[in-house]
Amino acid sequence: MADAATIAWTPRGSWAGILASGEFGTAGQPGVTIEARDGLGIASLIAGDGRDEALAQALQGHIGLGLPLTPCIVSSARHSLVWAGPDQWHLIAPDRNGFDELLRDLAPLAAISDQSDGRAALRLSGPKVRDTLAKGCMLDLHPSAFPVGTAALTSIAYMGVHLWRIADDPASGDAVFEIMVARSMAGSFWSWLSASAAEFGCKVTATGRG
Amino acid sequence: MSAKQPFRRGDGGLIDRASPVSFRFDGRSYQGYAGDTLAAALLANGVRLVGRSFKYHRPRGILSAGPEEPNALVELRSGARREPNTRATVAELYDGLEAQSQNRWPSLDFDILSINSLLAPALTAGFYYKTFMWPAAFWEKLYEPLIRRAAGLGRAAMEEDPDHYEKAFAFCDVLVIGGGPAGISAALAAGRSGARVILCDEDFRPGGRLLADKREIDARAGSEWVADALAELASLPDVRIMTRTTVLGVYDHGIYGAVERVSDHLPLPPVHQPRQRAWRITAKRAVLAAGAIERPVVFAGNDTPGVMLGGAVRTYLNRYAVLPGREAVVFTTGDDGWATARDLTAAGANVAAIVDPRPQVDAALVALGKAIGARVFAGSAVSRASGGKALKQVTIRDASGRETSLACDLLAVSNGWNPTLHLTSHQNTRPVWDEAIQAFVPGTMPAGLSAAGSAAGHFGLAEALVDGARLGSEAAADCGFAAKPLAATAKTDPDAVSISPVWRVKGGKGKAFVDFQNDVTDADVELAAREGFRPVEHLKRYTTLGMATDQGKTSNISGLAIMAEQTGKTIPETGTTIFRPPYTPVAIGALAGHHRGPDFRPMRLAPTHQWSKDLGAVFVETGLWLRGQYYPKPGEDHWLTTVNREVLAVRNGVGICDVSTLGKIDIQGNDAAEFLERVYINGWKALPVGKARYGLMLREDGFVMDDGTTSRLAETHFLMTTTTANAAKVMQHLEYCHQVLWPTLDVRMVSVSEQWAQVAVAGPKAREVLRGVVDAQHDLSNEACPYLAARNITVGGGIPARLFRISFSGELAYELAVPADHGDAMMRALMAAGAPYGITPYGTEALGVMRIEKGHVAGNELNGQTTARDLGLGRMMSAKKDFIGRVMAGREALIETERPALVGFKPVEIGQRLRAGAHFIGLGKPAAMEHDEGYMTSVAYSPVLKHWIGLGLLKNGPKRIGERVRAVDPVRNGDIVLEICNPVFVDPEGARLHG
Amino acid sequence: MRYSIFSLAAQTLKGHRGWTPAWRDAAPKAEYDVLVIGGGGHGLATAYYLASQHGISNVAVIEKGYIGSGNVGRNTTIIRSNYLLPGNTPFYEWSLKLWEGLEQDINYNAMVSQRGVLNLYHSDSQRDAYARRGNAMRLAGVDAELLDREQVRAMVPFLNYRDGRFPIQGGLLQRRGGSVRHDAVAWGYARAADQRGVDIVQNCEVTGLTIEGGRITGVETTRGAIKARKVALAVAGNSSRLAGMAGMRLPIESHVLQAFVSEGVKPLIDNVVTYGAGHFYISQSDKGGLVFGGDIDGYNSYAQRGNLPVIEDVMESAMALWPGLGRIRMLRHWGGIMDMSMDGSPIIDHTPVQGLYLNAGWCYGGFKATPASGWCFAHLIARDEPHEVATAYRLDRFATGRVIDEKGAGAQPNLH
Amino acid sequence: MRITCPHCGARDVQEFTYLGDANPQRPEGMATTEAAMHDYVYQRDNPAGRHRELWYHSAGCHAWLVVTRDTRTHAIETVETARARAQGDAA
């Protein structure tokens, strides 16, 4: 019998084989900068009827965040809670450390499903990020319509996406978006995104594991 | 340079004389300037004959200076980039431009099919409906091919379009359509209020008629006013000016379709730039300021090259500094044409005559005529133009019928303007007739859209400025932006809008065209009236009036007027046509954008994809997924060799197959079991925790929707699996059941399909292999983990995993699921652990073979036309509970015993191949529909049985086991005899499954 | 006047002054034996066959606008009989046979052109489904050929065989399928019916059905009341509205289907080709325009116009199938209102109201069905029994479960 | 078209999947007759005018919505969640 201990269980992130570091598209100062958000802890939380309040209190206690009741994202230093549908949220952590334990604690208050491996996430920034997204995103991302902290479930190029705007880049003042797609569609999403960003010049700074 | 451009004026115009441009037309080289259109540059070079007409192949020139052009259509570019039917009047000149005339052979100058002109008396409207019927077979063999070859216009490229396209979405408060004086005013008013504004102009240079006419606003040149206004607009942060962008259509709820020609003015699109970009603009309000289109007059020879619209003549003179002719006659039915005469003279042309049918012409105009030395023919009309390939002469007839002929090379025709109201009727509302201006104006508008300036029938410049400012402010105010007080009304030079249109001048010798491009004459309209094709849609469809690429922009009104005259009605009584989108023709590629070739639709890849790829898998599209179909080894040159090996490896040892693509839905809540009871036909409440069960769900109409195994992970927690194909459909159905039908049930569900990588580990050695990857504390023995067990376990030293003892192959089998990040490692770990057992990766083909050997149904059987009974699963239907589809499944036709039901088949002659899609016919009966007894749904070669086997739906099938039936397959010349058998071919007792 | 090369020649010499109206613009009489509501292809064909096959010529076709203003003039002109189910195949085959002799029968050149209809397949299971269908057609005496990829490529070499998202694997070809000049069908039937005494009454909108004791006796119209022994509804797109006047609800939703035509270009494609991995079909008219279409917009609508998502979907499918179309320009698009039935198949049947007959639910299949629909509807009206090729098109099939669901999509009209 | 999802705001129709008439109520329970179920599954008013219809925000929040829309003009009058609607009906 093979010795299970000798087999390496190297995780392979959602962007493995898809993203490559470096610049592409029109040369010069990149209009879009893309960073893989790999290895996140992501879980869907669905509150039961009337149990939102208990869940909200527990979350406040555990991670210091309240449940957003409209499509937006709230963040602490470590965690984020993003609206994901009526009575549904995504709890997001920058890594998986302690994530299972956190989910276990919350389990009595909500239907919880770990989705950490099922999503491929990117952070998009740069002066042309809105122009890039406009080539497929059917939402109005103008600052007046989509302020910092807004989140949305929508589709781009026939792929479901979960999209939100985090704090502006402190250096440039440019808007910064994060976007999650289904892991299985990461390659097709990248095909659309890279084609859309090429005009403005694009830089990939982090590619994730594997 | 100008020596090479004999009709270019020495100065003036909005062209860039510092940027000369070379181009070719029909193989000859010419020069023009940046800022020219192809039409302007051709005229500058004295090229008059530009195309041949559709039916009669008559010589045609340039009629207009805009998108309404019916005649000057060319093939632009060459090779894979050839663009047929390109309007020379809007094609921007670029260095190296190549264009060819079209619809002529062998050459533009000498076109064989111009003999059609001789046949013209027979080729009237609709002549083809009356003949070519005998003998019947000749239509397709002779007549139609001839007609098809003669018809059509330009030649399209057959190669793949090498350029790329993209889409984009934009949002604004106020969309302004048209960049003329009204549009710019509207954009300024809205923009100054702080509203988000998009101004679209189809031209490459905003300004509209202010670029073409010598007008003054507040005592300054119109073009200067435009420049200042554009500068201000550019300074406003939320105003976007989109040139070369045509708004094509108005759709529901403030959505406007537009196409931006990003690179059409360049020899090639720059790297990383599309050729065109299709915009979907969502606007809270929109102002249509698209201007107006000038109308020609119907008279004999009115299609002769050199007959032009008066406004177009001014455009060429003033904007492009081109003389469209040196010896001109002006034919005008209103004051507007007199300005053309003035501008022509100023540009150095000789105006021989001004013909105005109005008996009384304003004395000031007459004085102007005198001043420029033109003969003035008041109360007269041009009855004929002649000259063949270039205008040589016009005939002028006065009220008494006396005719005068004058030599000339240009006839400028002005007959009033039609508001460019096309977009206002895109939602099927009809324009209304305005008697004062003798034109249709917008009727009921699409919600949120208003019309300003000429587009609203307000032809004066001052009116346009006022209109635009007012509607721009109102639109912004509707969006919540307080309008800034309007500046004092601008002062303009006087307008010339008085008009008494003449729709046609009868009696000239020769054809008088209504629709130039489709060669529809006044006689055709008369014929349509005579034959009863009087409703305007009949007129259009019978004569093809208005059906050409210009959608009748210059012809519809004349056609209506002539019909009105024939029927003794007024124009509005005769009707108006509804313009359909798009406003101008749009490249199919633009509206497809990124979605072509491999990017037509997204592709989904399993988390194990790289592993499959590394093994040299052959992949197959299943829905959006790409799955490993089989895994050939070196030397295996036929797919069946590989598949047979894979099947035998599983049956005799162990194999692994990715099943990550199955839909997985996490269902939790106090009523989760109750919910499953209602959506599945079988029972769920009694399912113990830690167990899986096969479930079947119906649609409400009683036919099967989907199947899969669902496991109870905890008292109130289930994991449902669906087929790969139906995953999204089932999720939608469950959400429907929950939210719409039973909102009070406590059930919460979410798709976890993407979270888990799942693999089937199948074969007698499956347990041993798993032992190598599952952490030691988990007992995998048959007792601890029996058939249909569902367990939370760990693998690889603490990685959470789920193990289901379920089997599609009929072997001892498990499905092991790990978080997707570990999917790749899981496959590699299993391969390592299974190496001693000869572990073999297998694909969807082998999976299919084994499920057919086991008589399991799959997509070919779950085709939406089968019932649970048809599939041999009728007994699963609980009689003790209500469930979706229960009642309708009981309808008489669904429970007839005769219904084709699932059985197995094998060839009587054992070497014969079965084919899915073959139909069953009773032995000795003719192969005809009335003897059709069902069909073969799935077939496979069973390497275990060493012959082909099949599943199929056969009338009374289960009662006919052991009998024989024919499988006829006429489309593949198949006709073989089959034995009907139990659908479970391998291990019918299920001993292996429980091993 | 009979149409022929001779009458055309004679009229050419007379400057075409002798042509007479193709049909009389009749005023409604007080009473008819049969009143056909709906001056589209089906209604006109019904009237024609009532007169020509059953000797019933005291017939009026009443039309709220002008004849041919509905779907007969708003479709993509395809004819075919490549159906799967025994309830459908003989009917559409009979229709195709009628098309084959139509022009000589009605003395009108509708340009019936049997250019071949090729349905592409892109997967093994789609191939199996097409084999099933092709075999069903052959068993019913209909022509069908199953082509592999190379045979398809030889026929239509310009499609994408290089990098298509869903590779073309082959196709099901019906050579006898093709296209017809759509407007000419309405005009030809109208003229032929008129010549046999049928009144064609335009601008006459039905505002009510007169029903006495469970029997229909006439209709109210904008041009007055008209009595009739029998009333036949052939108003696809608006069937529910008319049936509603008789107190009936139908298993039908009205949906918008868009169609498209490109600018005219020299001949590119001979056949009708349908894409199997998206909703798309294309052919080229004799005038040179590429005529194409796709899926319905998918929501109930009476608006005769659609929206951008479906338009773009059609263009994407066009480019996915045939990447050389990129620079060809779409000239016009428009919408027609389809009677989308609950199983995707039509209804030709009696109604619970005596003397009221229903012809409805044509989904996208209405144009190709025009001759057989008229033929079978006339048969039903004249003899009060269904024609043998239309026996399955019963209104009660949804109650009995004898649905005719070619796609297996179930009771959801926008999926058919 | 644009539909204003009560959760997500105004969105392009492309994000939604249409089902049909929202008026028919599913006959629940074992006593349901074939005739009643036939009416529910197959028979439609199909009005030219005001129509209450079910849409699913498939590319958004997965809510089922009841949209009141004019089938002649496509103008939308109201959008509610089906859940709120059903609970309202029950109350």
Q: Is residue B918's pLDDT more than 60?
A: yes
Report the alpha-carbon distance of residue B768 to residue B133 in Å, rounded: 77
For A144, the closest chain B residue by CA position comes to B196
For B775, the closest chain A residue by CA position comes to A4
Number of other CB atoms surrounding residue B137 within 10 Å: 8
Report the alpha-carbon distance of residue A172 to residue B133 in Å, rounded: 75
The domain defined by A16-38+118-206 carries CATH number 3.90.1170.10: no
Which residues of chain C make contact with D12, given a CB cutoff of 8 A? Answer: 309
For D8, the closest chain A residue by CA position comes to A71
Q: Do A71 and D11 touch (CB under 8 A)?
A: no
> pLDDT digits over B502-531, tens only?
999 999 999 999 999 999 999 999 999 999
Q: Do B917 and C129 touch (CB under 8 A)?
A: yes
**Does the CA dihedral B437-B438-B441-B444 come out positive or negative?**
positive
Within its chain, how far is the Cα of A123 from the centroid?
A: 7
Q: Is residue C343's pLDDT more than 60?
A: yes
A touches which chains (3+ CB pairs under 8 A)?
A: B, D
Which residues of chain D make contact with A155, given a CB cutoff of 8 A? Answer: 14-15, 59
Residue A150 gets which letter from DSSP?
Answer: B
- Tell me which of 3.40.50.920, 3.10.20.440, 3.40.50.10070, 3.20.20.70 is the CATH number of domain B2-128: 3.10.20.440
Size of interface B-C (CB pairs under 8 A): 364
Report the alpha-carbon distance of residue B785 to residue C409 in Å, rounded: 39
Mutate to test the interface with C, among B130, B429, B579, B892 (most CBs of C within 10 A): B130
Number of other CB atoms surrounding residue B403 within 10 Å: 14
What is residue B540's three-state secondary structure?
helix
Q: What is the pLDDT of residue B1?
A: 43
Report the alpha-carbon distance of residue D32 to residue D40 in Å, rounded: 11
The domain defined by B664-751 carries CATH number 3.40.50.720: no
Q: Mean per-residue pLDDT for B563-586? A: 93
Q: Is residue B484's pLDDT more than 80?
A: no
Residue B991 gets which letter from DSSP?
Answer: T
Q: What is the pLDDT of residue B994?
A: 85
Amino acid making up residue B700 = E
Which residues of chain A make contact with D60, given a CB cutoff of 8 A? Answer: 85, 152-154
Q: Is C251 on the interface with D (CB under 8 A)?
A: yes
Q: Is B666 on the interface with A (CB under 8 A)?
A: yes
Class of domain B165-292+419-478: alpha beta
For A190, the closest chain B residue by CA position comes to B602
Q: Do C253 and D21 touch (CB under 8 A)?
A: yes
Residue B49 gets which letter from DSSP?
Answer: -
Give domain limits for chain B.
2-128, 165-292+419-478, 296-415, 510-582, 606-661+755-850, 664-751, 897-995
Token pair recorded at residue B215: 């007008």
Q: What is the pLDDT of residue B727?
A: 96
* A71 closest CB neighbour out of D7, D14, D15: D7
Rounded to the nearest angstrom, the minimum Cα separation between C17 and chain D is 43
Which residues of chain C make contact with B148, given a CB cutoff of 8 A? Answer: 267, 284, 286, 288
CA quadruple A34, A35, A41, A42: dihedral, nearest 10? 0
Residue the block writes with tokens 């004019």: D70
Token pair recorded at residue B921: 């016919």
Contact B332, B344 (CB under 8 A): no
> pLDDT digits over A57-87, tens only?
999 999 999 999 999 999 999 999 999 999 9
Q: Is residue A31's pLDDT more than 70?
A: yes
Q: What is the pLDDT of residue B182?
A: 98
Closest CA to A12 of C47, B841, B828, C274: B828
Q: Do B158 and C323 touch (CB under 8 A)?
A: no
Query: What does the angle CA B288 – CA B292 – CA B298 come to, to the nearest 5 degrees?
Result: 150
Token pair recorded at residue B315: 């455009």
* B750 closest CB neighbour out of A44, A139, A198: A44
Q: What is the pLDDT of residue D85?
A: 76
Q: What is the pLDDT of residue B134?
A: 81
Q: What per-residue string of b and e applies to D31-53 under the rule 16 or more CB within 10 Å gives b?
A: eeeeeebbbbbbbbebbbeebbb
> pLDDT digits over B119-132, tens only?
888 888 989 999 88
Query: What does the angle CA C73 – CA C79 – CA C84 come to, to the nearest 5 degrees?
Result: 130
Token pair recorded at residue B52: 């041949």
Q: Is C253 on the interface with D (CB under 8 A)?
A: yes
Q: Is C179 on the interface with D (CB under 8 A)?
A: no
Contact B88, B74 (CB under 8 A): yes
Q: Mean per-residue pLDDT for C349-354? A: 98
Q: Is residue B3's pLDDT more than 80?
A: no
Contact A68, A47 (CB under 8 A): no
Q: Do D12 and B280 touch (CB under 8 A)?
A: yes
Q: Is C76 on the interface with D (CB under 8 A)?
A: no
Q: Determine the CATH number of domain A41-114.
A: 3.30.70.1520
Mutate to test the interface with C, among B424, B588, B896 (most CBs of C within 10 A): B588
Q: Do C7 and B130 touch (CB under 8 A)?
A: yes
List Cβ neighbours of B521 (8 Å cut-off, separation of 6 or more).
B511, B512, B513, B514
Q: Is D59 on the interface with B (CB under 8 A)?
A: no
Q: Is A195 on the interface with B (CB under 8 A)?
A: yes
- Tell me which of 2.60.40.3620, 3.10.20.30, 1.10.287.610, 3.30.9.10 is the CATH number of domain C117-177+254-340: 3.30.9.10
**Does the CA dihedral B728-B730-B734-B736 come out positive or negative?**
positive
Q: Domains along chain D?
A: 2-90 (3.30.2270.10)
What CATH architecture is B510-582? Orthogonal Bundle (1.10)
Which residues of chain C make contact with D19, given a CB cutoff of 8 A? Answer: 412
Q: In chain B, what are the helix, strand and coil shares in percent, each to the nearest 5?
A: 25, 30, 45
Q: Do B131 and C8 touch (CB under 8 A)?
A: yes
- Tell me which of 3.40.190.10, 3.50.50.60, 3.90.1150.10, 3.40.50.920 is the CATH number of domain B296-415: 3.50.50.60
Q: What is the pLDDT of residue B486?
A: 65
The helix-helix angle for C182-195 and C41-54 (nearest 10°) equals 40
Class of domain B606-661+755-850: alpha beta
For C341, the closest chain D residue by CA position comes to D42
Q: What is the pLDDT of residue A130?
A: 98
Report the alpha-carbon distance of residue D91 to residue D88 in Å, rounded: 5
Residue B77 gets which letter from DSSP?
Answer: S
Contact B68, B554 (CB under 8 A): yes
B touches which chains (3+ CB pairs under 8 A)?
A: A, C, D
Residue B322 gets which letter from DSSP?
Answer: B
> pLDDT digits over B865-917, tens only?
999 999 999 999 999 999 999 999 999 999 999 999 999 999 999 999 999 99
Q: Is residue A1's pLDDT more than 50?
A: no
- Interface predicted TM-score (ipTM) of this complex, two decimals: 0.97
> pLDDT digits over B132-152, tens only?
888 878 888 888 888 888 888
Number of other CB atoms surrounding residue B141 within 10 Å: 9
Amino acid making up residue A163 = L
Q: Mean per-residue pLDDT for B598-611? A: 98
**Does the CA dihedral B506-B510-B511-B512 come out positive or negative?**
negative
Report the alpha-carbon distance of residue C314 to residue C317 in Å, rounded: 5
Report the alpha-carbon distance of residue C44 to residue C191 in Å, rounded: 9
Q: Mean per-residue pLDDT for B640-659? A: 98
Question: pLDDT band at D89, cuts 50/70/90?
Answer: low
Mutate to test the interface with A, among D11, D64, D81, D83 (most CBs of A within 10 A): D11
How many residues are recorded in chain D?
91
Q: Mean per-residue pLDDT for B318-341? A: 97
For C184, the closest chain B residue by CA position comes to B129
> pLDDT digits over B148-164, tens only?
888 888 999 989 999 99
Q: Mean per-residue pLDDT for B63-67? A: 98
Strands ordered across the beta sheet of D76-81: D17-21, D50-56, D64-70, D76-81
Q: Is residue B2's pLDDT more than 80?
A: no
Q: What is the pLDDT of residue B332?
A: 98
The domain defined by C25-81+83-108+182-252+343-415 carries CATH number 3.50.50.60: yes
Q: Do C299 and D41 touch (CB under 8 A)?
A: no
Amino acid making up residue A187 = G
Q: Which fold has domain B897-995?
A: Elongation Factor Tu (Ef-tu); domain 3 (2.40.30)
Residues belonging to chain D with any Cβ–Cβ distance to chain C shorter than 8 Å = 1, 12-14, 18-21, 34-35, 38-39, 41-48, 51, 53, 55, 69, 71-74
Q: In chain A, what are the helix, strand and coil shares in percent, each to the nearest 5?
A: 25, 35, 45
Q: Do B129 and C65 touch (CB under 8 A)?
A: no
Report the alpha-carbon distance of residue B437 to residue B419 in Å, rounded: 10
Which residues of chain C make contact with B147, given a CB cutoff of 8 A? Answer: 286
Q: Is D13 on the interface with A (CB under 8 A)?
A: no
> pLDDT digits over C377-411, tens only?
999 999 999 999 999 999 999 999 999 999 999 99
Which residues of chain C make contact with B128, given a CB cutoff of 8 A? Answer: 109, 111
Report the alpha-carbon distance of residue B751 to residue A44 in Å, rounded: 10
Report the alpha-carbon distance of residue B965 to residue B922 in Å, rounded: 5
Q: What is the pLDDT of residue B103?
A: 87
Q: C128 — alpha (psi -120 to 50), left (phi > 0) or beta? A: alpha
**Would the CATH topology of B510-582 be identical to that of B606-661+755-850?**
no
* pLDDT above 70 coverage of chain B, percent: 99
Interface of D with B in 16-35 (CB under 8 A): 17, 19, 26-30, 32-34
Q: Is residue B112's pLDDT more than 90?
A: no
Mean pLDDT across chain B: 96
What residues form DSSP beta bridges with B242? B200
Q: What is the pLDDT of residue A6?
A: 63
Q: Do D9 and A155 touch (CB under 8 A)?
A: no
Give domain limits for chain A.
16-38+118-206, 41-114
> pLDDT digits over C189-232, tens only?
999 999 999 999 999 999 999 999 999 999 999 999 999 999 99
Q: Mean per-residue pLDDT for B602-611? A: 98
Q: Is C347 on the interface with D (CB under 8 A)?
A: no
Give domain limits for chain C.
25-81+83-108+182-252+343-415, 117-177+254-340
Amino acid making up residue C156 = V
Token pair recorded at residue C197: 């005494």
For C296, the closest chain D residue by CA position comes to D18
Size of interface A-D (CB pairs under 8 A): 36
Helix or strand run (H / E) with residue D78: strand D76-81
Which residues of chain C make contact with B149, given a CB cutoff of 8 A? Answer: 266-267
Show the beta-strand stretches assigned E in B203-361. 216-217, 220-221, 239-242, 245-251, 255-260, 276-288, 292-294, 307-309, 327-332, 350-356
Report the alpha-carbon distance of residue C390 to residue B858 in Å, rounded: 33
Query: Environment class of residue B68 by beta-carbon count within 10 Å: exposed (0-12), middle (13-18) or buried (19+)?
Result: buried
Query: Environment class of residue D74 by beta-carbon count within 10 Å: exposed (0-12), middle (13-18) or buried (19+)?
Result: buried
Which residues of chain D make contact with A71, given a CB cutoff of 8 A? Answer: 7-9, 61
Contact B941, B947 (CB under 8 A): yes
> pLDDT digits over B692-725, tens only?
999 999 999 999 999 999 999 999 999 999 999 9
Amino acid making up residue D6 = P
Mutate to test the interface with D, among C296, C300, C347 (most CBs of D within 10 A): C300
Contact B28, B43 (CB under 8 A): no
* D17 closest CB neighbour out of B252, B732, B740: B732
Closest CA to B947 of B990, B892, B986, B893: B986
B276 against B138, higher pLDDT: B276
Rounded to the nearest angstrom, the minimum Cα separation between D10 and chain A is 9
Q: Do B156 and C328 touch (CB under 8 A)?
A: yes
